Every structure is written in structure tokens, then in C-alpha cells.
Amino acid sequence: MRLPHPLLETWSHEAEWIAALPDLIAACVDRWSLVVAEPFATPHSLVLPAGDVVLKLNAPAHEEAENEADALTAWAGEGAVRLLARDDQRRALLLERCRPGLELWKAGVDQVDIVGALIPRLQVEVDDEHPFTLLADEAERWSDEVPRRYAAAGEPFERRLLDFALDVYRSVDRRARLLVNQDLHGGNILAAEREPWLVIDPKPLVGERELEASGLLRNAENVTHWLDALVGLGFDRERARGWGVAHNLAWAWDERGGWLEHHVEEARRILSAR
């Protein structure tokens, strides 16, 4: 089996995991009696189709995927793919396969209406025993890391963008207890049979509902149009825009490449939108 080049490129610094993948695949195939086909050309996780299911393997360093299985368990197939089995030691998931699997942003339909119907089903309130990382804890980490990276890189973009993000981190609502997805966008919503559209690949946190705006605004052709739609779902407009900037700036850093200019530009574009 040939591993996808985008995956090898993304995890070139995780040589031990890459080398272990054939054995990990074989162990999962044996455990779940699978017949796998060639993997999809995905960059962040190894995803292999196996009939009506897919086998997904996450790299140990892929921290944002840590609670993916927990989020899918919480949703229980409501608007998202079903988790069929998990092997936490191998960081392996057995998932419902979406057929035909067309990405929403390639479907030529109104994404706003579809996402607007999904979000209220996915933003469930969790109890105190939940396994998820808190947005408040991440915001505290970002409020330290982002300015430190900014200074170390010689102030690579305008200070007002950084100051705006810091204000958002420091004003995080520590009482909020909604399950939210850091990476909801049209590339992670697929056409399916059980429901017309299902969410895949969640990056869950627990906190303010407006964090869910981040992936949508980052990938929006028209940021204002999406802000209008989110307000219609009960989002606070300025808080949604705020997390669009602050979260995307936190994700604009690559440990090997430093600041990613196109991600910084997305944060800048969201800040300028009204």
C-alpha cells in the first residue's frame, strides 16, 4: 500500500509513526475483520475505505484530534458520522462511510442553509464529567504562546491584529459548556445516504458557541454573509468575529515553518469584515 504524499509531507517529522503505519493497519484489519482499499489522499490523518466503513488513524502529535471519538460518541450520529469502534492505544477509529462523500463546498448548493441546520444539533451542552478540553484553558495557553511567537518572529504582522486576539482570549467565558467544533467548514461536511449531509473530522472543545464560527469564517468567500447567518442562529456577531480572528491566529503557527502568512491573512480579512 502506498501512503498518500500529503500525509507523508504533513508528518515527515513523525518518522516513527510513519514507519509503524503498516503494522497499525494490519492490526486494525485483523481486529475489525476489514478489507481495506487504497487510502484517500488526506493530509492530516490516514483514512482507508473498507466497504461501508472507513478506518482512520491519527498521528500521536495530532493533538487537536485527541477527543474526536468522544465528540462522535456524544453526537451519536445526529448530524455527524457514526463512530462504530475505537482503539485508543493505536489512535484508530472505525467510522461510518459517507456515500457519495462529496464535500459540501464542492456541491454547488447553499452552504449556509445546510450548516445552519446542523449547528443546533451539534452544539450540545455537556455535564461536568465530560472528557473534552475547555476553550478557556486553550485561550489561556494561546494568550501566552501567540505573543511569544509574535515577538520571536520579529513582529511579523500588525500589532492591532495581535492585540485584538489577546482581548478575545482574555475575555473567554469560563462558564460556557457547549460542545463546539474548531474545524467546521464545507470540506468537513460530506454528502451521505443516512442523512443528506454529515459532519466528519471534528476538533472538539467545550466553551462558547461562537468558537464554531472560526472554521466557517476562515473558509468563507463572504465573511459578512456568514456572520449574518450565524446571528440568525443566536450567535453574538462581535464574539463570532472575535473568535474568527483569535482562533485563526492561534492556528496560524507551524512548529516547523513559523507564521503561515495565508492564515494570518484570513484573520486579517475576518477582522475587517462587518
Supply the residues annotated as catalytic.
183
The b-or-e profile of 40-70 (16+ CB within 10 A means b, else e) is: beeebbbbbbbeebbbbbbbeebebbbbbbb
| Cis bond upstream, residue 43 (ω within 30) | no
Amino acid at 223: V
What cell numbers appear for 162 in the block? 495581535
Nearest to 216 by CA among 247, 252, 177: 247
Amino acid at 105: W
The b-or-e profile of 234-253 (16+ CB within 10 A means b, else e) is: ebeeebbbbbbbbbbbbbbb
